[in-house]
Amino acid sequence: MNDEKKEKKLMDGYVGVKFKSLQRSTELPISVNDYYIQFKQNCDRLKNYNMTPENGGNVSIRHENGFIISASGANLGIIEKKELIFVEQCDVGDELVIYHGGIKPSSESIMHWLIYKNYMETKAIIHAHDEFATRTELLSGEIEESEHEEPYGTVELADMAICTFKKAKRIIVLKNHGYVAIGPDIHSACDMVIDTHLHLVGKQKNR
């Protein structure tokens, strides 16, 4: 446990969530055991490819009218069960996130909310980082990239993701930020991120 606490770090420039939040309860309304297994398995897969830098990235699974998402400041590579949070509702106009759990949900909760609302077939979302996601020269012609950069954790970034997904089916890159992949389950969304990562690694080696 001491090693895990020592390893948990925050990325430079991270100042926490930028939305208002309302905590309904410190307890989740459901058991997270099954969810945690899925989160841990796929976060470990991302970690194997060095795609879990510090607290970069976030993961969610749709549940009823909301979703289970990694907590603000969570390090996906060493995610803990207590870092799974249930987001019940988001008021995008008021930039308010209503949640259950002991920690505030991911700073990108509004982005996840909008994706689920706009793409009803989506059951899971993975937002991950690697060195290639910021390499525009590698992304050209390979993956749809947002038109411009927006600050993390903002409604503007969430809106940019929705606009970019209108031109892509399963995965996009937010400019100078990271990948966002959607899927019918968390495993297929993770497959999409890893496959894209490996493709860009190969492209870099062949340059």
Quick: pLDDT tens for 62-105. Answer: 999 999 999 999 999 999 999 999 999 999 999 999 999 999 99
Residue 37: what are its φ and ψ, rounded to 5°? -60, -45
Element (H, E) at 21: strand 20-25
pLDDT beyond 70 at 4? no
Task: Please give the model's pTM, rounded to 2 decimal places.
Answer: 0.94
Across the range 104-109, mean pLDDT stands at 97
Q: Which domains does the chain have, with CATH numbers?
A: 17-205 (3.40.225.10)
Q: Which amino acid is at 11?
A: M
Cα 74 to the chain's mean position, in Å? 11
- Identify each DSSP E strand in 82-143 by its residue range: 84-91, 96-100, 124-128
Which residue intervals of 80-154 are DSSP H helices? 109-118, 136-139
pLDDT of residue 62: 97
pLDDT-derived band at 141, boundaries 50, 70, 90: confident
Per-residue pLDDT of 161-180, as tens digits, reads 999 999 998 999 999 999 99
The type of residue at 174 is L
* Whether pLDDT at 5 is above 80: no
